[in-house]
Chains A and B, each alone.
Chain A
Amino acid sequence: MAILFIAQRVTAFVLAAAVAVHLGTILYAVRGGLMAAEILARTHGNMQFALFYAVFVIAVAIHAPIGLRNIFREWTQWGGRPLDAVLAAFSLLLVFLGMRAVFAVYGV
């Protein structure tokens, strides 16, 4: 479907930028102490980064299930509404786990 194809391409653009920022953030965030408590002390309450990672999580939750849908449809006999339902649930799971992590790292 055109809408899924376009959604996956657009989120790919978002992820290409987001992954680059994410890798930079990893290098930056570990400076000045590698203990979890030290890192969290620097990240907690940073709303800009919280927003950035929220966008990242949503892009992943859109991008990954569409790619998995294509793989399942091409390489297995599985398709149709049951597959779409499972992958929609998977998308929600990614949102839940991702947002939970964003809140844990950047929340107040």
Chain B
Amino acid sequence: MREVLGVDVWRGTEQGAFQAFAIPRRQHQTVLDVVTEIQREHDATLSYRFACRVGMCGSCAMVVNGRPRWTCRTRVNEVVSDDERLRLEPLRNFAVVKDLAVEMTQFFDKWEAAHGYFEPGPQPEKDFAVVPPDTKKRQFANAGIECIGCGVCYSACDVVSWDRGYLGPAALNRAWTLVNDIRDRGQRERLDAVSDNNGCQACHTHMSCTRFCPKGIEPTYAIAGLKRAMFRWSAG
């Protein structure tokens, strides 16, 4: 391990350039530690986003050496290049606000477009719903429910990169958890929403979302589940 880490950081918006920094190399430093050190010790104008620093909030994702990562839980040791360099860029497929901070509006608008919200129906249920933990539906929902909305899958997705209308893995994964929620009363509208041209059938099953999701969620399988649900729905 060298004593100094070379870091190339994207500066600007869509137009811009990489700026090089030299940061002391430490044993267990995370990529977010590096970015924070740059901003505090070298250039206070560097813009980036973080909140919890412990992998819960989903706000610190960036492209690190070409791969989307949650930077707070990514140690430099795991991702540094052979010549001890880091290359930090804003997430792909998002508009860049400045430097490493991206505009997330479109990403979350698509959750809404995919009906990625619980629909209770016109009347509240009279009694508590019983959802046995070992049922298939509950397990499908469990598999995708821990999404923190970091945007890593959306950045990794090639389909989003060539079709900006595509709802993307996170929104479709959320829709799939709700398709498996037996309390939900908005299934018809949700399945309509996820099965138009920009919906689940646009997925090419590249599996980049599943490869890079920091929470180990597998949106590819959620999308496959939506395709099956759409099929069943259409068949009556």
Contact = CB atoms under 8 A, between A and B. Distances in A.
A3 B234 contact: yes
B163 interface: yes
B89 to A, nearest CB: 24
A36 to B, nearest CB: 42
Contact of A2 (B159, B162, B201): B201
**Interface SS of chain A:** helix
A87 to B, nearest CB: 14
Given A74-B162, A74-B163, A75-B162, A5 B230 contact: yes
B162 A1 contact: no
A100 interface: no
Contact of B227 (A1, A5, A70, A75): A5
Interface residues of B, number: 13
A2 B195 contact: yes
A16 B202 CA distance: 22
Contacts of A3: 234
A2 B195 CA distance: 5
Interface string A55-80: 00000000000000010011100000
Interface in B182-213: 195-197, 201-202
- What's the interface size class on A, roughly? 10 to 19
A6 interface: yes
Nearest to B198: A73
A74 B234 CA distance: 25
B231 interface: yes
A75 B159 CA distance: 11
Contacts of A74: 159, 162-163, 202
B163 A1 contact: no
Contacts of B201: 2, 5
Interface in A1-59: 1-3, 5-6, 9
A6 B191 CA distance: 14
A2 B231 CA distance: 8
Q: Which 4 A-B pairs have the closest CB atoms?
A: A2-B195, A5-B201, A2-B230, A2-B234
Interface of B: 159, 162-163, 195-197, 201-202, 227, 230-231, 233-234
18 contacts: A1-B197, A2-B195, A2-B201, A2-B230, A2-B233, A2-B234, A5-B227, A5-B230, A6-B230, A6-B231, A6-B234, A9-B231, A70-B202, A73-B197, A74-B159, A74-B163, A74-B202, A75-B162
